[in-house]
Amino acid sequence: MKFTLKVMGTASAMPVTGRFQSAQVLDVHGRLFLIDCGEGVQLQMIRYGISPEKIESVFISHIHGDHLFGIFGLLSTMGMKRRTAPLDIFAPSNFGPILKFFLSYYGEGLSFDVRHHVLSMKEPETVFETKTFTISAFPLNHKIETFGFLFREKKPFLDVRKSAVDKYGLTLSEIGALKRGEDVVRRPGKDDKANFFNGFAKCSGTDSTLVIKASETAYLPYVSRSYAYCSDTAPFPRLADWVKGVDILYHETTYLEELSEQAARRHHSTTIQAAGCALKAGAGRLVIGHYSSRCSDPSLYEKECRTVFADTYAAHEGDVFDVPYVKLK
């Protein structure tokens, strides 16, 4: 099952040769989600082998242009490709008038519905859910209303060891209980007849109640994976708690540490602040981006971050970050 991040753009507000503005595609179990939609996002997706019409939903952190200016072209192309599936866009309320403008001037004959899901939460809140994963949104600390996103696989049901099935002659209902983490209790007199052919007598050997513990017979089949997107934001204490234990944390690093005063004025983060958040959150890896046009060398950002958080990677256009599927025994 895939859980893969593909970086489309790493620039902040000003254009820089070789850098595109904020956009990422996250593949979760084969379903594609676009996170932010900076200028040129269509070209980047085509360049890196991602079909724009296969995007299932779009998540817009805020309406500053470097996170949004690609949306008109993307919607138009989807229309020309005769998309029919609805497109869900999760974005702040001030995206509403922008979408209304597009639809009023360019939406005639659009072959699909565009559904705006308004983000307005003050605490992390689930906005999208399937049987196997959730997507939640949470507020960030920027000049205007801005949100981050956390993609997390649900904790899987337990698997029951085959040796336990054979040993106890488990029934389907008992296997179901153990998978839910519930102990199975077999009581003599009431259960011995029902369990005659599934090993009650041979396993208990006495008239006492038999307890088959889930902790001894069942196990997690794989490790749940997660990814958090945090751009743009000034640091604030609760953020690390909201993304606690995330496998990959993407955090903006618009400024090197020497420009910390400017970062504070513009409600952005420095390298050291982003790395501090990753450290406090206990993140597995830190991926950084949203670089200022003042600096042409992302390795300088990476070097500063690694003084605080060693497992830091400066993102480049086209980079792929995979959260591996770890199967447990």
Residues marked active site are found at: 66
Rounded distance between C-alpha atoms, residue 303 and residue 313, angstroms? 9
How big, in percent rounded to 5, are the helix, strand and coil portions of the chain? Answer: 30, 30, 40
Rounded distance between C-alpha atoms, residue 272 and residue 253, angstroms? 8
Tokens of residue 165, six digits:
């099935």
Tokens of residue 289, six digits:
């981006």
Of 226, 217, 215, 216, residue with least CA distance to 155: 226
Rounded distance between C-alpha atoms, residue 260 and residue 122, angstroms? 26
Rounded alpha-carbon distances, angstroms, from residue 30 to 1, 94, 175:
7, 31, 29
Please report the sign of the dihedral spanned by the C-alpha atoms of residue 128, residue 137, residue 3, residue 115. positive
- Distance, C-alpha 62 to centroid of its chain: 17
Rounded distance between C-alpha atoms, residue 259 and residue 163, angstroms? 61
- 3-state SS, 161-184, equals CHHHHHHHCCCHHHHHHHHCCCCE
- Tokens 């903006």 correspond to 252
Please report the sign of the dihedral spanned by the C-alpha atoms of residue 246, residue 252, residue 255, residue 261. negative
Rounded distance between C-alpha atoms, residue 192 and residue 110, angstroms? 66
Of 281, 246, 287, 239, residue with least CA distance to 142: 239
Q: Are 320 and 310 in contact (CB under 8 A)?
A: no
